[in-house]
Each structure stands twice: as structure tokens, then as C-alpha cells.
Amino acid sequence: MEVTNVTEYQAIAKEKLPKMVYDYYASGAEDQWTLEENRNAFSRILFRPRILIDVSKIDMTTTILGFKISMPIMIAPTAMQKMAHPEGEYATARAASAAGTIMTLSSWATSSVEEVASTGPGIRFFQLYVYKDRNVVAQLVRRAERAGFKAIALTVDTPRLGRREADIKNRFTLPPFLTLKNFEGLDLGKMDEANDSGLASYVSGQIDRTLSWKDVKWLQTITTMPILVKGVITAEDTRLAIQAGAAGIIVSNHGARQLDYVPATISALEEVVKAAQGRVPVFLDGGVRRGTDVFKALALGASGIFIGRPVVFSLAAEGEAGVRKVLQMLRDEFELTMALSGCTSLREITRDHIVTEWDAPRARPGPRL
């Protein structure tokens, strides 16, 4: 059966992957309300398309932190991709580069920053978890910078790991033939078996719960790379992130894997965009499965979006070719949405192209008497 949309890769991945691995990628925190809401919230935003506009030429290119990319669709950091496919992060890096877009490498990748850099040219960001041992952090940031990575995506929503019940039931741990490659030389590359989730135990032992805004400032003293703060969903934290020197904000609820019952990212996006007041770009991840979703995010003020699970599911199904296909399908759908909405470039996508449930009803002329 031909795959015709991004979502279809999930069922293929479920068939192919061991249950422990599939569940790790697919599940969210606790009741998984936010997991479902990340998708559902998109379906409550409707279009107000404009017609009879010449859409024979459509330009989807954009510039992110000074880097020109082919489309506002980028790859979010997802951990341990070699559990999905033997080529793991190598395949993802090649697919992103071929599509002319940005890949974000996870701290917890099963390939190192140097290995991913060796796949060839490409614009790559590095997602950072802050470990208790700051020497480990400084070393890792320096390695990413040396390997040609262009920005740090600092994850700020994980002082502790969210309660992911599938991982507890499955006693999730990294398969023995894999390591967290960036930490291999530091004796932090292996995950012990635990009587709940091996990852939760690892986080509790290694990740720094004292992380605060002063550390965002500290990071700027050890690297020239711009810092994107990933995991902001409120206006208050948007203002604090900008004060702390963030170069951009990623509106994210960690794929609904941390605190359940936070809003969908698409529902939180506009609050963050308004608070940012154009001072820094705002990005979104979480729940994007269609080109229509990309358009809705841009209409609400996002400068671009990141996809996570579609990458690991397509990687599991078809390796590099799967990831390439996901990026191509989203690109094609987004281009079609732009055309049918009457937009020929990203700057033409406006708030007036959509209507949300929180919009005031548009003024209607009163009835004729």
C-alpha cells in the first residue's frame, strides 16, 4: 500500500518495531490528554482562504537565525534513533540535508555530534540537556560547536522526566547494543536497568533539577552559538527568556511527554508570539502531521515548525527514504495549502487566513427590517 500521508507511517512503525521501542516513541505522559490535544487542537482552527490570486509561483523559502532553508519545516530532536533503524541519526541528517532544511540532534542521540557532522554538509542545531556536572555540558557544547552545529536548542521543561506509564510497564531501557554516543567517553552513555523506566532513573541521576534562568546566561558565556529556549508555553516565560538573552523560542510541551494537561502547543502559540513582540523568532513543535498544520502555525505567528515523531516512525518504516518522503509530503501539502489560501510567499500568510475558537465573532451586518 502506498503511503500518502505522514500519519500512515505510525501504523507501519508499530508493526515493525519491538513493543518497548514503539511505546517509547509513541506515548505521552500519564493520561495522554495533551498527546491527543496536540493533534485535536489543529482540527479546531479553520481557514479563510482568499481566491482569484495568481498562485502560479509559490516561494516557501525562509531564513532561520540567518540560515536560508527551503521551507519552514524542520526536524525536532528525538532521542535514540538507532532503536528505529540501524542508520539512525545518520539517515535523518542526510534526509534533512537533501530537503534543504535543519535537523536538530538530540543530546541523547545514538550517534555523536562528530558522526552526524561526517554525513556531509547541512545546517544542524544541537538539543542540550543540562547535566549536574557542568564540565560535561561545557565539553558537549564545545564539541557541537567544533562539529559545525549552528545553534543550541536548550530543553527547559525537563528538570525531572514526565511519568510515561508505557515505559514503566515495559521497564524501558536503551537496547544493549546501543549507547548515548555523545556521552560514551564520559561513562554516561549507558542506561541501567531499573524497576520502572530506565530513562527516568537516568534523568533523575544525571539531569540538573536546579536549572534556572541564570544557567541560560551562563551558556552564553561558553558558546557563541545562539540559544533557542525549547519548552516555553506562557507569555511570562517568553518575556523572561528574551531578558535572559534567548535568540529564539520553541513553543513545545515535549511531545506531550512531560506535564499532562498543558494546552496543545498550537493553542499556546499565539500567547507566546504576542509576548515576544517580534523581538525573537518563535517556533512550534508538537502535533504537526499535515501541511495545513504548518500553515496554521505560521498564520498564528510562528516562524517555522519542527516535526518529531513523524521522523522516527518514517525512519522505522523506510529508513532515510522514509524521512525524505515525510519532508516531501509535508512540503507538497504546505505548498498546496498556500496556493488554495491565496498566498505566494510566507510573508503573505496572515492571521486573517484562519479563524480560531478564541476569536471574537466577526461583525455581521444586522438583519434588514
Q: Which residues have a catalytic role annotated?
A: 254
Three-class secondary structure of residue 277 per DSSP: coil
Report how far apart, in Å, the C-alpha atoms of 250 and of each of 77, 99, 232, 303 are. Answer: 12, 21, 6, 10
Q: How many CB atoms lie within 10 A of CB 293?
A: 27
Helix 291-299 vs helix 33-43: crossing angle, to nearest 10: 80
Three-class secondary structure of residue 153 per DSSP: strand
Three-class secondary structure of residue 248 per DSSP: strand
Cell of 101: 532544511
Question: Residue written as cell 561545557?
Answer: 138
CA angle 172, 264, 63 (to 5 degrees): 95
> Nearest CA to 202 among 262, 165, 250, 160?
160
Cα dihedral 101→237→28→201 (10° resolution):
100
Report how far apart, in Å, the C-alpha atoms of 306 and of each of 10, 223, 303 are. Answer: 17, 23, 11
